[in-house]
């Protein structure tokens, strides 16, 4: 991978700090218990407007991803500005500033809109920063940072939200720290591939396989919506007339940290390139299998209590982490726009789930009346059982075909190491002289080995179309017209180096 050791370390730290403070914002009740209830009677309307703005922003990012990414890469000062503005809007929503009665409605509207916009900008910047880490350091280093930062984010999440609690300011300080981490993160534009090489999302291989965790998340959201509507969740409670998070149960916390820890271990194990690919692949599947088994525990417990009282447990945060890691692998494997994949599959999924749970489901069920109350238990059980089935189907699909083979290319035999290193050195020398990017140097090496575009794409975790695009750029920069000319050029250079060493 490219970049100095200090650059990689700084980029890794920036990602860990930024995502540690950003993860709490993807919890289900986070905004309700820390910000919007302080607007008084307008809390529900403010929260609804905030969610609609987030959803609209996700759609815009998915459609205009090239223009938005170019703007954010060109103007990193936007992240610092968004971080400072989040401090201002968050402080107002927290009640630090008390405007006059006449100005309050307008200022509240502007604060909600401003907070949503800053959240979108900082989230987009964090995703781009994460992909810089992936393309510079490695794919599974990025997955490890996601898992580790999610555990730290859980620690930083508020456990109370009363006005005299330090945790009440987490929504303000969190976005500020995350935004500054993105703004101050090291950049190496020459190592990042042009956005024009992104492939179409609809053409990505194995799209259906990676959509299974997303489908499982939405099905699990049905369970959460019914629990919330009928007050069967430990999400919030009333203290002194204020909505605050309910007391934390030890089992969900322990289960979540175990879940995130297993994904962290699997990711860290996969970064080791000196072990066989089948070992890394099997270890990843085993870790995911155990993690999914942890999600099965509350479902089985609820089944045991069916007809009496359902076990109060929400696996949404664990499934959110699994969804984020899967989207990261899918984005890198198919060379897709991170703004498009994360915007569609993660951010909009979470926002839609919140809209259904908090804004649409309660009044709808209230209008149905007693019929909804009698069907709440079976609906919750069916949705949780369906979620579990989807997750096991996802694991089964991972074990089939070459979904994991694309992520874990076969290791070269020890006898070929010397020849491979010599050829890579020649390719690096030619690439430096011709001004090739680091990814183009990788493609050049496999071209010299006689690989087809399809095989090159599978080896480098990119699509065949992206490999062809890189190949055409290499032909243009080297002044050749076919793969055989590439092979002849490299063999000539190798021969000259051997003769020069005599």
At residue 359, the pLDDT reads 78
Average pLDDT value for residue range 22-48 = 71
Q: pTM, whole model, 2 decimals? A: 0.74
**Binning pLDDT at 50, 70 and 90, where does residue 373 land?**
low
At residue 196, the pLDDT reads 47
Query: How far is Cα 230 from Cα 244, in angstroms, rounded to an integer?
Result: 18
Q: Minimal CA–CA distance to 27: which of 125, 146, 144, 171?
A: 171
| The 3-state secondary structure of 326-382, one letter per residue | HHHHHHHHCCCCHHHHHHHHHHHHHHHHHHHHHHHHHHHHHHHCHHHHHHHHHHHHH
Residue 236 bridge partners (DSSP): 245
pLDDT in tens, 327-350: 898 888 777 889 988 988 888 888
Query: Reduced to 3 states, what is the DSSP secondary structure of residue 245?
Result: strand
- The percentage of residues in the chain with a pLDDT greater than 90, rounded to a whole number, is 11
What residues does each domain of the chain span? 5-189+205-407, 414-500
Q: What is the signed CA dihedral for 329, 332, 338, 343, rounded to 10 degrees?
A: -30
Between residues 41 and 121, which one has the greater pLDDT? Answer: 121
At residue 147, the pLDDT reads 93
Q: At residue 314, what are phi and psi to the nearest 5 degrees? A: -125, 115
Average pLDDT value for residue range 26-45 = 67
- CB distance 302 to 310 below 8 Å: yes
**Binning pLDDT at 50, 70 and 90, where does residue 322 land?**
confident
- Fold classification of 414-500 is Arc Repressor Mutant, subunit A (1.10.10)
At residue 412, the pLDDT reads 46
Highest mean pLDDT (candidates 104-113, 139-148, 390-399):
139-148
Q: Look at the block and give the residue holding tokens 């993660």.
A: 346
Average pLDDT value for residue range 126-144 = 89
């Amino acid at each position: 991978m490219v970049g100095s050791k200090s650059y990689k370390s700084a980029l890794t730290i920036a990602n860990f700090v930024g995502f540690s403070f950003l993860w709490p914002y993807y919890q289900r009740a986070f905004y309700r218990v820390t910000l919007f209830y302080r607007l008084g009677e307008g809390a529900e309307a403010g929260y609804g407007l905030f969610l609609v703005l987030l959803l609209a922003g996700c759609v815009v990012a998915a459609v205009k991803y090239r223009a938005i990414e170019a703007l954010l890469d060109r103007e990193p000062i936007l992240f610092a500005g968004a971080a400072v503005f989040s401090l201002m809007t968050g402080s107002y929503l927290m009640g630090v500033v008390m405007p006059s009665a006449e100005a309050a409605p307008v200022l509240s509207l502007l604060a909600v809109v401003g907070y949503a916009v800053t959240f979108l900008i900082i989230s987009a910047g964090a995703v781009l920063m994460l992909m810089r880490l992936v393309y510079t350091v490695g794919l599974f280093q990025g997955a490890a940072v996601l898992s580790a930062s999610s555990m730290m984010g859980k620690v930083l999440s508020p456990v109370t939200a009363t006005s005299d609690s330090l945790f009440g300011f987490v929504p303000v300080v969190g976005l500020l720290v995350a935004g500054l981490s993105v703004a101050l993160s090291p950049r190496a534009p020459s190592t990042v591939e042009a956005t024009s090489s992104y492939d179409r999302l609809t053409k990505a291989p194995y799209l259906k396989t990676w959509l299974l965790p997303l489908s499982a998340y939405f099905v699990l959201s049905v369970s959460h919506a019914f629990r919330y509507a009928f007050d069967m969740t430990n999400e919030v409670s009333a203290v002194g007339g204020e909505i605050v998070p309910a007391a934390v149960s030890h089992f969900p916390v322990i289960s979540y940290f175990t879940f995130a820890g297993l994904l962290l271990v699997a990711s860290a194990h996969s970064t080791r390139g000196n072990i066989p690919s089948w070992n890394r692949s099997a270890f990843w599947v085993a870790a995911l299998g155990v993690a999914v088994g942890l999600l099965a525990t509350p479902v089985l417990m609820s089944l045991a209590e069916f007809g009496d009282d359902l076990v109060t447990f929400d696996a949404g945060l664990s499934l959110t982490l699994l969804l984020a890691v899967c989207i990261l692998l899918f984005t890198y494997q198919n060379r897709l726009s991170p703004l498009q994949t994360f915007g569609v599959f993660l951010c909009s999924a979470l926002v839609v789930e919140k809209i259904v749970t908090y804004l649409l489901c309660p009044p709808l069920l209230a209008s149905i009346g007693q019929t909804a109350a009698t069907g709440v238990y079976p609906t919750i059980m069916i949705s949780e059982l369906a979620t579990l089935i989807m997750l096991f189907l996802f694991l089964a699909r991972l074990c089939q075909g070459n979904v994991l083979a694309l992520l874990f290319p076969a290791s070269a035999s020890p006898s070929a190491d010397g020849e491979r290193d010599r050829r890579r050195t020649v390719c690096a020398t030619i690439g430096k002289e011709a001004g090739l990017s680091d990814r183009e140097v990788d493609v050049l090496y496999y071209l010299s080995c006689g690989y087809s575009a399809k095989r090159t794409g599978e080896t480098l975790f990119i699509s065949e179309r992206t490999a062809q695009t890189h190949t055409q750029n290499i032909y243009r920069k080297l002044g050749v017209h076919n793969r055989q000319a590439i092979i002849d050029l490299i063999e000539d250079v190798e021969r000259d180096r051997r003769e020069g060493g005599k």
